[in-house]
Chains A and B, each alone.
Chain A
């Protein structure tokens, strides 16, 4: 039963998060920053998520293309 639950969890983790968990974490942090800055300051926040994507995508690809040591 535990093995089945673990396999079920692993399937959904792989389905949603995929190969690089850092991307998911970066996206989550970008949303938190957007929400926090928008709520407590008057600074426009529309640029935060696109900027995060602009950094997360190449760094994730860089990790994937780096020769394994």
Chain B
């Protein structure tokens, strides 16, 4: 159960973030310069690898009780952020994430920017746009994979889940040469928010000394209960939703990533 949940949570989170990163890289490559955009992707991946290499052993070296409390607590705060945004979107209080529109916004901004050469990078704007997209989106996935993996003592499985999602999204992106607007990102974010929150509650409470009734089987109650509660909140807050949510305005990469 836990390994399946680990794989599913990391895979879904990674799909969502990879789709968002792909949109940014596609905009940078299409509107500017593919070579600089791909150099930005490579530099971003190297940066992520360095961060993971530094954080991975640091997290793994924390004793089990402390690890569960620390990682569970951070995962819970992080999961509540995802779930909060997902509920706001599903209840009509926040614009739905629309890759096609974000792509058009990024494309328009990229086309307006001036070209500056720095060192061997022909187009600095395309490079930094791709770099920031990959690092900011990838950081969330790295964080989720590391926390889930270290708690389950199965970082390799988390890495496989993350890598398969990246390969799948990259292959689809290369085949379509367009943002993956058809991916049900909003629903996937909702599911990931439920998983992060449920595991955060479970591990964090265990780290604080809780003995769960039924041990690991408590997750079989926690996950659906969190899901049902989130759906009930969507229904409750939908009643007070504004009639129409304003379209997504032009935003920077940082703002797109933060949403």
Contact = CB atoms under 8 A, between A and B. Distances in A.
Partners in one complex: yes
A43 to B, nearest CB: 11
Contacts of A64: 84, 88, 93
B240 A38 contact: no
Q: Which of A49, A54, A60, A64 has the most CB of B within 10 A?
A: A49
* Chain B contact surface mostly: helix
Interface string A6-37: 00000000111111100110011001101100
A61 B233 CA distance: 9
B84 A20 contact: yes
Interface string B119-150: 00000000000000000000110000000000
Q: Which of B69, B76, B93, B226 has the most CB of A within 10 A?
A: B76
A17 to B, nearest CB: 7
Nearest to B214: A46
B59 to A, nearest CB: 14
A27 B77 contact: yes
B233 A31 contact: no
A60 B208 contact: no
Contact of A61 (B73, B84, B218): B84
Interface residues of B, number: 38
Contact of B205 (A14, A34, A57): A34
A45 B210 contact: yes
A48 B205 CA distance: 8
B252 to A, nearest CB: 14
Contacts, number: 96
Contacts of A69: none
Interface in B193-215: 197, 201, 204-205, 207-213
Given A56-B80, A60-B80, A65 B209 contact: no
Interface of A: 14-20, 23-24, 27-28, 31-32, 34-35, 38-39, 45-46, 48-50, 53-54, 56-58, 60-61, 64-65
Closest 7 CB pairs of A and B: A34-B208, A18-B81, A38-B209, A49-B205, A35-B208, A31-B208, A46-B210
28 contacts: A15-B140, A16-B74, A16-B78, A18-B84, A19-B81, A19-B84, A20-B84, A24-B77, A28-B73, A31-B73, A31-B208, A32-B208, A34-B208, A34-B209, A45-B205, A46-B211, A46-B212, A48-B210, A49-B208, A49-B210, A56-B80, A57-B83, A60-B80, A60-B84, A61-B84, A61-B233, A64-B84, A65-B88
